[in-house]
Structure 1
Amino acid sequence: MSSISENLPNPCKALVSVAASLALSTLALRLADRLPDAVETYLILWFRSLSSRVSSQLTLLIRDSNGLAPNQIFEAATVYLGTKLSPSTSRIDVYKPAQEDELVVSMDRDQELVDTFKGMKLKWILMSARNRDSSHPIQSRKKSSISKFESQHFLLRFSKKHRDLVLESYLPWILSRAKEIREQRKAVKLHTVDYNGPDYWGLINLSHPATFDTIAMEPNIKAALIEDLNSFVGGREYYKRVGRAWKRGYLLYGPPGTGKSSLVAAMANYLKFDVYDLDLNEVQCNSDLRRLLIGTGSQSIIVIEDIDCSKESKLLDEDKITLSGLLNFIDGLWSSCGDQRIIVFTTNHKDRLDPVLLRPGRMDLHIHMSYCTFSGFKTLAHNYLGITQDHPSFADIENLLKKDQATPAAIAGELMISQDPEVTLRGLVEFLRHKLDDSESVHNL
């Protein structure tokens, strides 16, 4: 005995198939919150089985994450589909990132988009669902638990005969295309811990203008750092061959005002890496530390400033972060969750750090951020006053810098007093002389 659909023309069969699939899916979703889990699971499987029999379409479910780890295919699809929205789309998601001119457009939930690839037609649908175990986006901070209130996923529908083509060609192509789009839009971001954020981080544009050309460092130290960074970012095959996570640790140490934060910004601008500012005082426990690490992206710089102060206030508290937890974050199994990660530690007092933190693999390169030298001063004079050649005041300034210690920040403050080079340099000489007199007076007491 033939069914009703078998006697219909082909276009009508397709329409009936789609209508049946949508009706069954809608019914399953409406029943989901009213049935016991076992019954719900059985019905959903039955609906899916029935839907697959009446349809020639295959549906891929692409979730936004897999446990704690973000789904790269979901993220790539979000970027790619935002460039494919048609004028007929009824609703789109649009926002303007801070300090950027270009609007970012993406699909809104419950919207459909049709794409084509090598002659096949594919339909994308963005959907969202509330997590059952989350009555609130963030549970009690005392429980030190980070959980997501809502999850999203794409449904990708296409003809079953194109299954291999989609999995082997289309989705890898989307990953590649999304990477190209990101590179074109690339603006360095500064991420800070945000327990209310969708991935545990909040972000803004990093608009810090520091570059290696403007940093007041000794030329040989600067050149060595740039060479080390270039070697690191080009070392994919090396790290794979030796079986090590593709990451590198730097320790920036020296007195306040020597440019440690500016150097981090210069590194980020040079590499076009996002910066994740990890304040350990905001982290509740080791499990939160792991979750935050997973939320960081590849090609990023994770900064832990004043590690000696964080160590004193957090690592000695048994209910907070342990030293073993921090070490596992730096070079344990969890540290391998991503590629091209740089971890930068800063401190004013290197001697206060536990020796286990200082060894290679954790802090691979130690960079001393010293008081301002004459070569550093000349860089600052060029930046602030546009002086490219020697000046009569330079001899006095060089002599004074050898006798007394002045930070690059202090020198820069004096150079900003006036835009007149003559006035400014005379004032700097007087500043350094007074500073030297004061230090000699203190020494003689």
Structure 2
Amino acid sequence: MAIKEFLLSSFHQLCFAQRVSDYFTNLFSPYVEINFPESDEYRLNHAFSAIETYLGSKATDKSKHLKGSQVKESKGLVLKRDEVKVRDEYKGAHIWWEIVTSADGERSYKLTFHNRARSLITDSYVPYVVEEGKCIEAKKKQTKLFTNNPSSQWVFSHNMWRSIEFEHPASFETLAMDPEKKEEIMNDLVAFRNGKDYYKKIGKAWKRGYLLYGPPGTGKSTMISAMANFLNYNIYDLELTAIKNNSELRKLLTATASKSIVVIEDIDCSVDLTGNRIKKDRNSMEKNGEQDKDENTVTLSGLLNFIDGIWSACGQERIVVFTTNHLDKLDPALIRRGRMDMHIELSYCTYEAFKILAKNYLDLDDHDDHPLFRKIKSLLKETKISPADVAENLMARNHQIDVDGSLNNLIKALEKRNNSQRSQHERKNNKFRIFG
């Protein structure tokens, strides 16, 4: 027992001596340290990513540790520094950067410099590094597609989102839609992108909501891709069914970056957000002290806060997009003007939309000269067919364009669809005559 007490006493004395030694070392050390963590609570620290970009851009000719990557086959090999410590120099001052990872996985950049350069570093060098990093990021920015991870995979504020490079080629030029409607949407997007001062003036968060609705295959996902490419914004594809409650929803929201499009596709199918909710009978579970831990409890009020409540202001220049095939199933409070500012109906293929598809797939610039166009125009007026189905019939077989063959295939498909829709309509009318 005496030996145990002696060892414990010695240990405490050693720890105390170490703390005293560290105190005096720090007290008299001529060096200053500044830490830049990757995140602050649940919000991304944009200075961290700017510093990472800046240090990664430093010349690699003198570096002994490099890493190579090739994102696309068409691009050359990219070499970057792969060093824990990086030395820099600024107006005669020597600076050392070091990437540090804590026991809980939190990453941060540690900046070390001599105390005599404190004013130079804090007033001039750090702002220079951050701005330089942001400029480099803007020049080489690659649009990314993010999707949320289940909360069981979160490590504190990390790993909420995973991403890949977004390489969808959609553009408004190739989007099958009436030109006037397309122009209206593009003008609205440009006004939003340039509206920072306006939103500040009227006292509203710099965000905008778009509701895309219409039958399947009418181009809702393609519209989102075109919007992202047009604005050069990242896409956050929010999977509501992977979120357990409103608190997790808020954390995910605050972890998204500005200049982004937050998307909830098929919102009528994601969670029960309809006006007439069917309340589950939980009495039996409560009596037994049981609850379904995996049950999704994201509520309508939680989602409304996400759209235009207090939490919607956690980030600037953000677009929110909902898509649905069944507009009538959504709660009116969710899609009212002011929350979903612009309602965009993406419906069946029109003749104007067809001409764009003919240009995309068949390289037909002078549309009206082709003799089969008049027949297609007549059929499109009477037939409900999605742009996706029209595109499928126009697509070249074995990459060999056959204009007449593709147009005739489309005409056959339209006639078949038209006959089917007429038969359904007649059966419905006969049914009403019998029971009416």
Deviation (angstroms), 1:411:
0.4
> Which consecutive residues of structure 1, in runs of 5 or more, have no partner in the other structure?
1-34, 132-149
AA at the equivalent of 1:347? T
Residue in 1 aligned with 2:249? 289
AA at the equivalent of 1:407? S
Structure 1, residues 260-296: CA drift from partner, whole Å, max 9, x if none? 0000000111111111111111212212211211221
Tell me, in whole angstroms, the C-alpha distance in 2 between the residues paired with 1:319 and 1:392. Answer: 56
AA at the equivalent of 1:341? R
Structure 1, residues 413-444: CA drift from partner, whole Å, max 9, x if none? 11015421011111211211121111111211
Tell me, in whole angstroms, the C-alpha distance in 2 between the residues paired with 1:383 and 1:166. Answer: 54
Cα 1:421–1:86, aligned 2, differ >3 Å: closer, same or farther? Answer: closer
Residue in 2 aligned with 1:340? 317
- Residue of 73, 83, 93 corresponding to 1:120: 93
Tell me, in whole angstroms, the C-alpha distance in 2 between the residues paired with 1:100 and 1:117. Answer: 36
Structure 1 length normalisation: TM-score?
A: 0.81
Secondary structure of 2:95's aligned partner: strand
Q: Does 1:404 align with 2:404?
A: no
Tell me, in whole angstroms, the C-alpha distance in 2 between the residues paired with 1:428 and 1:369. Answer: 20
> Which consecutive residues of structure 2, in runs of 5 or more, have no partner in the other structure?
1-10, 281-294, 428-436
Residue in 1 aligned with 2:260? 300
Tell me, in whole angstroms, the C-alpha distance in 1 between the residues paired with 2:382 and 2:308. Answer: 42
Cα 1:237–1:105, aligned 2, differ >3 Å: closer, same or farther? Answer: farther
Q: Does 1:440 align with 2:422?
A: yes
- Percent identity reads 41
Contact 1:60 1:155 in 2 (8 A): yes
Tell me, in whole angstroms, the C-alpha distance in 2 between the residues paired with 1:67 and 1:104. Answer: 33
Secondary structure of 1:190's aligned partner: strand
Tell me, in whole angstroms, the C-alpha distance in 1 between the residues paired with 2:305 and 2:67. Answer: 39
Contact 1:411 1:428 in 2 (8 A): yes
Residue in 2 aligned with 1:164? 119
Residue in 2 aligned with 1:50? 24
Cα 1:169–1:104, aligned 2, differ >3 Å: closer, same or farther? Answer: farther
Structure 1, residues 64-91: CA drift from partner, whole Å, max 9, x if none? 1111112121111111101115445444
Residue in 2 aligned with 1:328? 305
Matches within 5 A, 1:28-43: none
Residue in 1 aligned with 2:284? none
Contact 2:196 2:206 in 1 (8 A): yes
AA at the equivalent of 2:418? L
Secondary structure of 2:222's aligned partner: helix
Matches within 5 A, 1:68-79: 68-79=42-53
Residue in 1 aligned with 2:330? 353
Q: Greater RCO between the two (CA within 8 Å, min separation 6)? A: 2
Contact 1:199 1:295 in 2 (8 A): no
Tell me, in whole angstroms, the C-alpha distance in 1 between the residues paired with 2:80 and 2:19. Answer: 31
Contact 1:302 1:342 in 2 (8 A): yes
Tell me, in whole angstroms, the C-alpha distance in 1 between the residues paired with 2:337 and 2:200. Answer: 18
Deviation (angstroms), 1:105:
5.8
Contact 1:92 1:108 in 2 (8 A): yes
Residue in 2 aligned with 1:375? 352
Q: Does 1:186 align with 2:165?
A: no
Tell me, in whole angstroms, the C-alpha distance in 2 between the residues paired with 1:265 and 1:183. Answer: 20
Tell me, in whole angstroms, the C-alpha distance in 2 between the residues paired with 1:98 and 1:293. Answer: 30
Q: How many residues align?
A: 389
AA at the equivalent of 2:36? I
Contact 1:98 1:205 in 2 (8 A): no
- The alignment yields a C-alpha RMSD, in angstroms, of 2.5
Deviation (angstroms), 1:46:
5.1
Contact 2:60 2:66 in 1 (8 A): no
Secondary structure of 2:271's aligned partner: helix
Residue in 2 aligned with 1:311? 271
Contact 1:328 1:335 in 2 (8 A): yes
Secondary structure of 1:113's aligned partner: strand
Deviation (angstroms), 1:298:
1.1
Residue in 2 aligned with 1:134? none
AA at the equivalent of 1:284? K
Residue in 1 aligned with 2:225? 265
Choose 181-190 or 75-84, whichever is displaced more: 181-190
Cα 1:116–1:387, aligned 2, differ >3 Å: closer, same or farther? Answer: same
Contact 1:253 1:349 in 2 (8 A): yes
Contact 1:85 1:113 in 2 (8 A): no
Tell me, in whole angstroms, the C-alpha distance in 1 between the residues paired with 2:308 and 2:404. Answer: 52
Contact 1:276 1:296 in 2 (8 A): yes
